[in-house]
Structure 1
Amino acid sequence: MEMRKQRTGSASHVLVLPLPIQGHINPMLQFSKRLASKGLKVTLLTPTSTGNSMPQGNVFSINIEHIFDGYKEGERAATADEYIERFMGAVPLSLTELIEKYSATQTPVKFIIYDSILPWVLDLAKSLGIEGGPFFTQTCAVTALYYHKLQGGALKTAMEEKSLVSLPSLPQLELNDLPSLVHGPGSYPGVYGLIFSQFSNIDEASWLLWNTFNELEDEIVDWMASKWPVKPIGPTIPSMFLDKRLEDDKEYGISLFNPNSETCMKWLDSKEPGSVVYVSFGSLAALTDDQMAELAWGLKRSNAHFLWVVRESEKQKVPANFAEETAEMGLIVTWSPQLEVLAHKSVGCFMTHCGWNSTLEALSLGVPMVAMPQWTDQPTNAKFVADVWQVGVRIKVGENGMVTREEIERCITEVMMDGERRDEIRTNSEKWKKLAIMAMDEGGSSDKNIEEFVAKLESKQQLQ
């Protein structure tokens, strides 16, 4: 087990600022734990609006502080765009005050790690004499596609001609493999602006930290590293599910949702190994009523046991009487302890929207996937799941944009039932699981990058 390293003198102090949504908090929190285990002082910033759902003080060997995001505890924005606008208005001042507060102590801030879609943080940090670097919560492949979108060129031509997309270091892609925002902002102008702002000052950052690992995206990492100081430091999931070097690191530890943990685990314990389809579309994706019905009846047609996460806000979309009709087969919950579920021997596959955290968790735990992407980076992640890493199948969408119950049944059967295809997928899933563990273990590619980051910070600290 890796113990927290003891170093002489005061430790370098790092601030970590994620965008306050679950899929961005989790990986940046996990990276914070790794840095703390290497001897750094780490402060993770969480917004005032989340209030008591976020702990404060010293937790998991890191310091957690609230930062004013424009909302008091319990206040909620009506839309994502409204939240983004208030957040951008409030956080720069709050962040400046916090940095100035620490500058008057024995542990002034030496470096700030910020969510890559908040690039203005780097400008603010530099104005205060502090270095900084973005943390990317998406793959290198997706970031490369956003970059090519801004550059125009081959990607623009392919989209105009509706042809295959051929770009350096990437597999050949069809238009439906591209991140949804490459096609335009749609009804999310605020999100679109954030995504493409990532490149506004990228050349000025001293480190680009990535929640991926070299082996998973080797060609793309090499291509990006020829342009920027790219350092993959993932997978950022709790250590006890990977290398087991941080013995108290069994869960993310901060959740905006309340999981039905005991119910889920007891139910899974009662099922045969590899017999359950786990279904979850993350914290944001919302299906239409019709699509929810097709998913429900597709699960029933598969004849497999299923554990289905349906958030409270989505429950009314489940067909009437469905839970009663499938009580022998399935369990529907509003939230789950996803890592524990994926690690459970009863789970045979994960039907997922292919959000990057969920995808990386399944890869790291060796769980085959049925990919049903919704938006942003998910179509690209699904392409890699099915065709590059070959750890699952991707659901085909009908001409009307709907996924049918028959298609859902077909994909679950392909991944779950005995046959050559299932065996190939399971073999590949086990391979990537081993490589993910190796990357984070002592001397692994990601561990080396984290060690290098810490060593550079500490050498600068000693010079001052």
Structure 2
Amino acid sequence: MDDGFRGTDLDDLMRHLDTTGRVEFGRVLARQAEAGRPVACAVVNPFMPWAVDVAADAGVPSAVLWVQSCTVFSLYHHHVHGLVEFPPEDDVEARVELPGLPPLAVADVPSFLLPSNPFKLLADAIITQFRTIDKGVLGVRQLLHRAGTRRGGGAGRRDDDAAPARSSSPWARSSTWGPTSSRRQTTGGVRGDLIKAADECVEWLNAQAAVLRGAGRSLGGAGPTRGPLLPAGFLDAVAEGRGMVVPWSPQERVLAHASTACFLTHCGWNSTLETLAAGVPVVAFPQWGDQCTDAKFLVDQLRVGVRLRAKPLGRDAVSGRPWRRSWAGQEAEEMRANARRWSAAARAAVAPGGSSDKHVQAFVDEVRRRACGEETAPADEAKVSTTD
């Protein structure tokens, strides 16, 4: 489905998706119905709330695939519905307190909820999704198995098979869908990269003893970069064997490699899931969005890494104590042990009968039942798992 957009401005892209996407997505649903292959369920991204409206107008049930953490979902939910007061952005001492979560500083809250957020249209898209989420018949959210707290529960509480929900809240139709892969499954042929990954970096890793894996994924624009991102001579320097720079790496394979000792990450949710599944400690360097919340949990709750706060990040910060803590000493050993435990939890989740395995299959079964016109359990009897 080519929307015809050739621009590079993110705001223009979001506006174009809204106007053109509605029309084109409606045509896709109509073509499928006319061909005798009607869509049984539209699984939509939270950044495209209009897709729920289009599906509803076509009589197609929809489900929101929440692609951030359960903690972030809770923060948006409480903010949109005015259930908790968020302190001023400049109040460094204030804390946001929600049921089942540790106190969060303003800096730990998703930046899309702060007045200084420069990505207004992205924030508006997510907030609109929360206001229209009940238009969808099914509620699917990708949440990380056990990576935090449950409503009203303690930190780290296991709740793979929570009791049936007796609530009309969005939680009543939620299920955990994460992680959906583990480090033992990273060599398969199913990948979602939009850019061809540089698989040769895995060969380079084979010759290394231990490396720091760094990644920086940005949302700077919809098209190619307009200028060099690295200083002059940098690529020549790393070509001498000190490192390797590639446009896009097969991240899961790199994280699963035995030579990868640590991961410098912006703490996006995909990277957070992948590093926990791989059992690799992190150096957290969040920038915006949900990354700040993810970094808070990786460092303070899950205890699998350290955090860099210096901006801009200079040589002194890189060579300083926080960096060294991730590599050597008793604290580093504890981080590695914690990372291994989370990796084991990830493997258990995706194994036959694990939480992710069961919940994905339950969703597929419900879609099939609805497509066949069979009765389904009412929302207030749905089994949920609201771990983060």
TM value normalised by structure 2: 0.83
Structure 2 residue matching 1:436: 3-state secondary structure: helix
Residue from 356, 381, 392 that aligns with 2:269: 356
Where does residue 158 of structure 2 map in the other structure? Answer: none
Partners of 1:396 and 1:76 in 2: CA distance: 36
Q: Unmatched 5+ residue regions in structure 2?
A: 155-161, 375-388
Partners of 2:126 and 2:216 in 1: CA distance: 21
How much has 1:222 moved relative to structure 2? Answer: 7.6
Distance 1:387 1:315, change over 3 A: farther
How much has 1:250 moved relative to structure 2? Answer: 1.3
Partners of 2:98 and 2:280 in 1: CA distance: 30
Question: Relative contact order (C-alpha < 8 Å, sep 6+): which is higher?
Answer: 2
Structure 1 residue matching 2:245: 3-state secondary structure: strand
Partners of 2:261 and 2:90 in 1: CA distance: 41
Where does residue 214 of structure 2 map in the other structure? Answer: 279
Pairs within 5 Å for 1:77-226: 77-152=7-82, 154-157=84-87, 159=89, 162=92, 163-184=94-115, 186-220=117-151
How much has 1:185 moved relative to structure 2? Answer: 5.8
Tell me how large the CA RMSD over aligned residues is. Answer: 2.8
More helix, by proportion: 1
How much has 1:141 moved relative to structure 2? Answer: 0.7
How much has 1:193 moved relative to structure 2? Answer: 1.3
Match of 2:138, as an amino acid?
W
How much has 1:460 moved relative to structure 2? Answer: 2.6
How much has 1:220 moved relative to structure 2? Answer: 4.7
Match of 1:386, as an amino acid?
V
Where does residue 195 of structure 2 map in the other structure? Answer: 257
Q: Is the 8 A contact 1:285 1:374 kept in 2?
A: no
Match of 1:149, as an amino acid?
H
Please state if 1:266 is matched with 2:179: no
Q: Residue by residue, what CA displacement relative to the aligned partner does 1:101-125 show, whole Å, maximum 9, x if unpaired?
A: 2223342112111112222222222
Partners of 2:81 and 2:371 in 1: CA distance: 38
Partners of 2:28 and 2:6 in 1: CA distance: 24
Structure 2 residue matching 1:133: 3-state secondary structure: strand
Structure 2 residue matching 1:426: 3-state secondary structure: helix
Partners of 1:320 and 1:68 in 2: CA distance: 37
Partners of 2:270 and 2:187 in 1: CA distance: 17
Where does residue 157 of structure 2 map in the other structure? Answer: none
Partners of 1:253 and 1:167 in 2: CA distance: 36
Partners of 2:231 and 2:21 in 1: CA distance: 42
Where does residue 456 of structure 1 map in the other structure? Answer: 366
Q: How many residues align?
A: 357
Partners of 1:249 and 1:130 in 2: CA distance: 35
Q: Residue by residue, what CA displacement relative to the aligned partner does 1:334-382 show, whole Å, maximum 9, x if unpaired?
A: 2211111111111100001111111110000101100000111110010
Q: Residue by residue, what CA displacement relative to the aligned partner does 1:164-208 show, whole Å, maximum 9, x if unpaired?
A: 222212111111111111112633222121121121212333332
Structure 1 residue matching 2:131: 3-state secondary structure: coil
Distance 1:104 1:328, change over 3 A: closer
Partners of 1:377 and 1:285 in 2: CA distance: 16
Q: Is the 8 A contact 1:386 1:392 kept in 2?
A: yes
How much has 1:159 moved relative to structure 2? Answer: 4.7
Please state if 1:231 is matched with 2:143: no
Distance 1:181 1:202, change over 3 A: same
Residue from 233, 238, 244 that aligns with 1:321: 233
Where does residue 428 of structure 1 map in the other structure? Answer: 338
Q: Residue by residue, what CA displacement relative to the aligned partner does 1:236-285 show, whole Å, maximum 9, x if unpaired?
A: 34x6x35x5xxx971443433233221x122211111xx10011112536
Residue from 411, 414, 421 that aligns with 2:325: 414
Match of 2:50, as an amino acid?
W
Distance 1:257 1:411, change over 3 A: farther
Q: Is the 8 A contact 1:349 1:367 kept in 2?
A: yes
Distance 1:127 1:79, change over 3 A: same
Distance 1:446 1:317, change over 3 A: closer
Structure 2 residue matching 1:431: 3-state secondary structure: helix
How much has 1:321 moved relative to structure 2? Answer: 3.2
Pairs within 5 Å for 1:243-392: 244=185, 250-262=188-200, 264-272=201-209, 275-284=210-219, 313=225, 316-326=228-238, 327-392=240-305
Q: Is the 8 A contact 1:141 1:220 kept in 2?
A: no
Match of 2:203, as an amino acid?
K
Partners of 1:426 and 1:405 in 2: CA distance: 25
How much has 1:333 moved relative to structure 2? Answer: 2.0
More strand, by proportion: 1
Partners of 2:242 and 2:275 in 1: CA distance: 23
Q: Is the 8 A contact 1:213 1:445 kept in 2?
A: no
Where does residue 306 of structure 2 map in the other structure? Answer: 393
Structure 1 residue matching 2:175: 3-state secondary structure: strand
